[in-house]
Amino acid sequence: MTNVEKLKDLVVEVFLVDPSEFHLGLRRDEVETWDSLGVVSFAVGVQETFGYHLTQEEALGVRSIGDVITILEHHGISFREE
């Protein structure tokens, strides 16, 4: 499973997004369930899935899936074609 697939599964599970609606440009304002509780659950999921603990600033600053990918790539987790 690629990291993009792992991230998709996490977003679908935490934010209850229909898998067909997931895309790398998905923004927080497009997802009704992307609220403060969702952010906490998502941050825990990121740590469990990718082994990286999002800081509070990072978690609260995320506005899109692209933001998450940028943070994780900065910490050595690749999302390039695997």
Q: Is the pTM of this model over 0.95?
A: no
Instruction: Look at residue 58 in the predicted model and tell me its pLDDT.
Output: 95
Q: Is residue 23 part of a domain?
A: yes
For residue 22, give its domain range: 3-74
> How many domains would you assign to the chain?
1
Q: Is residue 79 part of a domain?
A: no
Q: Is residue 44 part of a domain?
A: yes
Q: Is residue 18 part of a domain?
A: yes
Instruction: Look at residue 82 in the predicted model and tell me its pLDDT.
Output: 54
Q: What is the CATH number of the domain that holds 15?
A: 1.10.1200.10
Element containing residue 42 per DSSP (H, E): helix 36-50
- Alpha-carbon distance of 68 to 75, in angstroms, equals 11
Q: pLDDT digits over 29-82, tens only?
A: 999 999 999 999 999 999 999 999 999 999 999 999 999 999 999 999 999 875
